[in-house]
Amino acid sequence: MQNSEKETPEKSKAYPTIAVGGAIVAGIWAVWRFRRFETVHDIPKSLFPNKGSDRSQRFRSLFGYVTRVGDGDNFRFYHTPGGYWLGWRWLRKVPTSRSGLASKTISVRLAGVDAPESGHFGKKAQPFSLEAKQYLSKTLLHKNVRIIPLKVDQYSRLVAGVQYYPISHFFWKRDIGPAMVQKGLAVVYDGTDGVFYPTSKEQLLSLEKKAKKKKLCLWSQGNRVVLPSEYKRNS
């Protein structure tokens, strides 16, 4: 006596149907998972951390390319989901013209730090603002970064933790914020609306204290130092 029945024709036909259904579901998931965000308004709320939650929660990140550095603490970010694995920059090109990038990049503000203000609209630039911008450009411009969305500010900029790759194509990452504070090219953000990740405010304050003690860059001015926040309030 046989222990198993022979497959019926109906059962045999069900397998291809299940396979096709699974492929469709997988395709829909892939399109959703690797969709590109062109502007800050395209980023879903689910990618932002919950307000008032602790650092133990899971923070989401986006991979992309820095197209322009505007100041010592902000830049334009072109989202390239999937990175090299999905053909970005070898099969799929990142636009280089301003017209091609105008509405397809995200304005990113570094979280937790404040760099000296550049000269805008007739205002005089703060000391070491050029050095801060040059360092940010040297480290990030035309390179891949991973950003952690934290919030959107009143200027529609994405405030984010920003990690760069000291060695191209390697997985090891560094947080740009503490690197700038450590060199005296930025200070810890002192506003009540500040957000801090992946480096905590306490860690940043410790680095700032050391840079101040060594009189690095903006701290070399001694008592003449004007913090960026104070400069903006008085401008």
Contact present, 78 and 144 (Cβ < 8 Å): no
Q: Kindly report, residue by residue over 119-159, the tens digit of the pLDDT.
A: 877 789 999 999 999 999 999 999 999 999 999 999 999 99
Helix (H, G, I), strand (E, B) or coil at 234: helix
Determine whether 216 is exposed, middle or buried from the number of CB atoms within 10 Å of its CB (0-12, 13-18, 19+).
middle
Active site residues: 109, 117, 157
Contact present, 133 and 69 (Cβ < 8 Å): yes
Cis, bond preceding 178 (omega within 30 deg of 0): no
Domain ranges of the chain: 40-234
Q: Kindly report, residue by residue over 175-209, the tens digit of the pLDDT.
A: 999 999 999 999 999 999 999 999 999 999 999 99
Q: CA-CA distance, 102 to 96, in Å (whole number)?
A: 10
With b meaning 16 or more CB within 10 Å and e meaning fewer, what string describes 70-90? bbbbbbbbbbbeebeeeebee
Q: Kindly report, residue by residue over 68-95, the tens digit of the pLDDT.
A: 999 999 999 999 998 777 777 777 788 7
pLDDT at 21: 54
| Beta-carbon contacts of residue 78 (< 8 Å; ≥ 6 apart) | 64, 65, 66, 67, 94, 95, 101, 104, 105, 106
Q: Kindly report, residue by residue over 96-126, the tens digit of the pLDDT.
A: 777 767 789 999 999 999 999 998 777 899 9
pLDDT at 93: 80
- Overall average pLDDT of the 20-24 stretch: 54
Which CATH number is 40-234 given? 2.40.50.90
With b meaning 16 or more CB within 10 Å and e meaning fewer, what string describes 133-150? bebbbebbbeebbbbbbb
pLDDT at 30: 45
